[in-house]
Structure 1
Amino acid sequence: MFKLGVIGDEVSQDFATVVNFVKEFNLHSIEIRSVWDKLPHELTDTDIDEIKRLLDGTDIKIIGIASPFFKCDIGNAAERKEHLDILKGCIRTAKAFDTNLIRTFVFWDTGETEERWDEIIASYDEPRRMIDGEGIVLGMENESTTSLRTAKLTAEFIEQIDAPNIRGIWDPANEAHAKGGETPYPDAYNRMKPTMIHAHLKDAGPNPDTGEIESVPVGAGIIDWQGQLQALVDDGYEGHLCLETHWRSSLKIDEAILNRPAGQAFSEAGEEASRICIENLLTMIENLKQ
């Protein structure tokens, strides 16, 4: 059976609040994206020690580092260099928490992924050198705003690189947002399944006024989460599924913040939304056939 976790800043920037939330719902893990308004590579030794202190005496595991690595422009050399430094810092943070998973991306979408495919593949030569011998796995997420906007492109990227330390992070809701995306479950899931090391949980549905796809409570959208959860069980997935709701009941998150989620502006009203989504998830899990 898969394990349940949460991306911490979907609940709060205050890590003690996140830990209490995880304990309340008997979750297994936390994925770190931003804590105390700091990104993973910005966490100091003092910050890391305080996070460990708050986890002391619990069975909660830091399952991964949700880095913003390579959410930058492919043609901007200075940005790319800066992001290699971000990756270096995230490797340090991951090792401090004894986790091997760092979530990464492949540049903002230019609309020319297919034409620039060789360049996109080559862009991971240096990141691969950086993680060699470090025991780190880069988890490539299908993300609608990036060059690998769909599960199809993400799986093709991972399969072509063909490295055991570059795997897939499956996010069905991101597929629902993607231009050219397929039905998240089962079609896109079946593409990602052979490379999948980790998964995120959120939902999406059309805005009744504009028709645009936006984040909605888990279980209330167009994704067949009941079928997806059953498939994770049937396929023997024993990794983690981390809540990343992106939905807020009392406000709408600005698009720019959604593209670079972090900090208090992102986390505002997140605990209430995450609570609703986890309760919906637990109800669906009760209905699974083991």
Structure 2
Amino acid sequence: MWTLSGFADEIDSDPHVQFRTLNELGIRYVEFRSAWGTNVLDLDDDQIGELKRLLSQYGIGVSAVGSPIGKVGIHDDFDEHLARFDRALWVAEQLQAPYIRIFSFWMPDGEDPAKHRDEVLRRMSALADRVGDQDVILAHENERKIYGDVPSRCLDIVESVGSAKLRLVWDPANFVLCDVAPFTDGFADLRPYIDYLQIKDAVAAEGRVVPAGEGDGQIPETIRALKADGFDSYFSMEPHLAYMGESGGFSGPDLFAKATRAFTGLLDAEGIAYH
């Protein structure tokens, strides 16, 4: 059975409102990115403790730490970033999250990403190695303007690093915004490495994010193929219907609910069970 999760900071900055809305929608997991207007990696230990209490109070589990690791420039100091990654590992352990979302570094404007391939792979390998024996998987998201923003470079990362600790997030809207037809152009090659999906759609001609099934993200084709091959993992709502920026997005309670209903409607139409 597939499991729904979501970036609840798209609902509100107050975790009470976040978790209450997830309860109302029947979503029992959160991909935790921020609370009280602060990124999860910048929350202090007491705030993390309070989050653990609230998660228990509302009966919410954590599907992933929605970290910003790798969302820095390829020329930015990496040793400093590794220290931040250590915090991400600690937070994942505290919140019992099986995944940490990561990225593969901003590329300088106008430069061929191939120029930076070796450094990207060095950094991604270092992140995977640093996980050690901790029971958590790094999930690389195909964000625009990073090295791994198109299927060929996502494949390059995961195959070149070759670590069981590094897998892929499939975000169809991000591929659309990179002029990629997700299912047609990338699904077959990337499917062996896809562990996690983030659900938003986009209209290519307008560069606009829309609810699942209303854009060019080929989401019906994708979930149909995943159903056929027995996929069983998390589908995380990340609607971005009111605002989309480099550090995240916002929807508000009503639009978050609208996006969730659009996606679960697709699942219902395909006869896919979920919780």
TM more than 0.5: yes
- CA-to-partner distance for each residue in 1:7-65, whole Å, 9 max, x for gaps? 12121111111111211121231001111111121122222222222222554210111
Q: Distance in 1 between matches of 2:125 and 2:259?
A: 38
Aligned to 1:55: 55
Corresponding residue to 1:220 among 214, 217, 231: 214
Aligned to 1:233: 227
Q: Distance in 2 between matches of 1:245 and 1:285?
A: 16
Q: Which runs of 5+ in 1 are unaligned?
A: none
SS of aligned partner of 1:124:
helix
Aligned to 1:170: 170
Question: What amino acid is the match of 1:21?
Answer: T
Q: Distance in 2 between matches of 1:286 and 1:133?
A: 38
Using the TM superposition, name which of 11-20 and 128-137 deviates more. Answer: 128-137
Aligned to 1:104: 102
SS of aligned partner of 1:223:
coil
SS of aligned partner of 1:146:
coil
Is it true that 1:246 corresponds to 2:240 in the alignment? yes
Aligned to 1:83: 81
Aligned to 1:5: 5
SS of aligned partner of 1:114:
helix
* TM-score, L = length of structure 2: 0.91
Q: Distance in 2 between matches of 1:147 and 1:222?
A: 22
Once the two structures are TM-superposed, the CA of residue 198 in structure 1 deviates from its matched residue by 0.9
- CA-to-partner distance for each residue in 1:64-114, whole Å, 9 max, x for gaps? 11111121111233xx33322221111111000111311111111233222
Contact 2:136 2:165 in 1 (8 A): yes
- CA-to-partner distance for each residue in 1:167-212, whole Å, 9 max, x for gaps? 111111111011xx43112432222211111110001014xxxx44
Contact 1:145 1:259 in 2 (8 A): no
Once the two structures are TM-superposed, the CA of residue 154 in structure 1 deviates from its matched residue by 0.7
Matches within 5 A, 1:1-290: 1-56=1-56, 58-77=58-77, 80-110=78-108, 111-178=111-178, 181-206=179-204, 211-248=205-242, 253=243, 258-261=245-248, 266-267=249-250, 269-290=251-272
Once the two structures are TM-superposed, the CA of residue 232 in structure 1 deviates from its matched residue by 2.1
Q: Which runs of 5+ in 2 are unaligned?
A: none
Contact 2:74 2:116 in 1 (8 A): no
Q: Distance in 1 between matches of 2:54 and 2:76?
A: 39
Contact 1:2 1:233 in 2 (8 A): no
SS of aligned partner of 2:209:
strand
| Count of residue pairs brought into register by the alignment | 270
Question: What amino acid is the match of 2:195?
Answer: I
**Compared CA separation, residues 49 and 119, structure 1 to 2 (3 A):** closer
Contact 1:169 1:200 in 2 (8 A): yes
Q: Distance in 2 between matches of 1:135 and 1:119?
A: 26
Contact 2:177 2:207 in 1 (8 A): yes
Q: Distance in 1 between matches of 2:7 and 2:97?
A: 14
Question: What amino acid is the match of 1:184?
Answer: P
Contact 1:217 1:277 in 2 (8 A): yes
Contact 2:32 2:62 in 1 (8 A): yes
**Compared CA separation, residues 285 and 124, structure 1 to 2 (3 A):** closer
Q: Distance in 2 between matches of 1:88 and 1:194?
A: 28
Sequence identity of aligned pairs in percent?
23
Q: Distance in 1 between matches of 2:118 and 2:128?
A: 16
Q: Distance in 1 between matches of 2:43 and 2:57?
A: 22
Q: Distance in 2 between matches of 1:71 and 1:245?
A: 20
Q: Distance in 2 between matches of 1:47 and 1:112?
A: 41
Question: What amino acid is the match of 1:95?
Answer: E
Contact 2:8 2:22 in 1 (8 A): no
- CA-to-partner distance for each residue in 1:94-150, whole Å, 9 max, x for gaps? 000111311111111233222332222112243233211222311111112211111
